[in-house]
Amino acid sequence: MSEKLGRFLEDHAGRYNRPDFIEGDPISIPHRFSRLQDIEIAGFWTAMLAWGQRKTIISSAAGLIERMDGAPYDFVLNHEERDRSRFLDFKHRTFQATDALYFLEFFQQYYRGHDSLEDAFARHLRPSDEHVGPALAGFHDLFFSLPFAPERTRKHIATPARQSACKRLNMFLRWMVRRDARGVDFGLWRRIRPAQLVMPLDVHVERVARRLGLLERRQVDWQAALELTERLRAFDPGDPVKYDFALFGLGVLEKTTGGPP
């Protein structure tokens, strides 16, 4: 990879990895909170809804937070069965009430026994693992380990075991794991290294990555996400996913069709 491309990506990553990026992005929902568990619950649920227009994603996620009385962790821990009726009219694209009710059940059972969602991912990952694939696959199995898990909800939680690119889970992990002084990503988790993160690969990032020569695999799947991440490691081995800001900004906010000047 050329130094010219590296400088181009670094410049664009810095352009969008800044606090004024937050307001119009789904990450603005977990940024409403300061407590770890509130950030985790709001962040995870928002990330799982993150397909479609950003404005609609933010609106849907805000509606979920309202249904939790603006206090996700307290609601998850202490709500009773009758409180779940307020989710029966919730819908975001194909995410519907059945899915919301199962998310609530999983969260309640999980947080009554754990302080942080970090363990649900990190327990499956060794420090020597090159990437978070084992953590995503293990989390998927844990999430659907309850005996009444709806089959339809499985499409909302991806896994590398099905060769999914796992865009939304990778985005959530970026939020929770990446740490710098810029104020966008939270960097609250310590048991997963930023170097192990995998790029969130959506249609916009894919398009720009191909134009820049960073992605050759034709299928948009787990192997493509790994290929792109590996190419980006050439520019920053310890934090390759920071370039998500560059590729996303170029693809969505600038809608560029070109490459580095």
The pLDDT of residue 67 is above 80: yes
pLDDT for residue 139: 98
Instruction: Return the DSSP state at 162.
Output: G
Report the alpha-carbon distance of residue 208 to residue 202 in Å, rounded. 10
Distance CA 129, CA 11 (A): 29
Per-residue model confidence (pLDDT) at position 252: 79
Could you tell me the pTM of the whole model?
0.95
DSSP H or E segment with residue 134: helix 133-143
For residue 2, the model assigns a pLDDT of 85
Whether the Cβ atoms of residue 201 and residue 217 lie closer than 8 Å to each other: no
Statement: residue 30 has pLDDT above 60? yes
* The pair of three-digit structure tokens given for residue 125, joined into one six-digit string: 């990952």
Cα dihedral sign, 2-128-242-52:
positive
Which residues does residue 92 pair with via DSSP β-bridges, in sequence order? 95
**pLDDT > 70 in the chain, percent:** 96
CB atoms within 10 A of CB 7: 12
What are 108-144's pLDDT values in tens digits? 999 999 999 999 999 999 999 999 999 999 999 999 9
Query: In a 10 Å sphere around its CB, with 0-12 CB exposed, 13-18 middle and 19+ buried, how is residue 127 labelled?
Result: exposed
Token pair 């898990």: residue:
149
Query: 170 vs 249, which has greater pLDDT?
Result: 170
CA distance 118 to 51: 23
Distance CA(69)–CA(65), nearest Å, equals 7
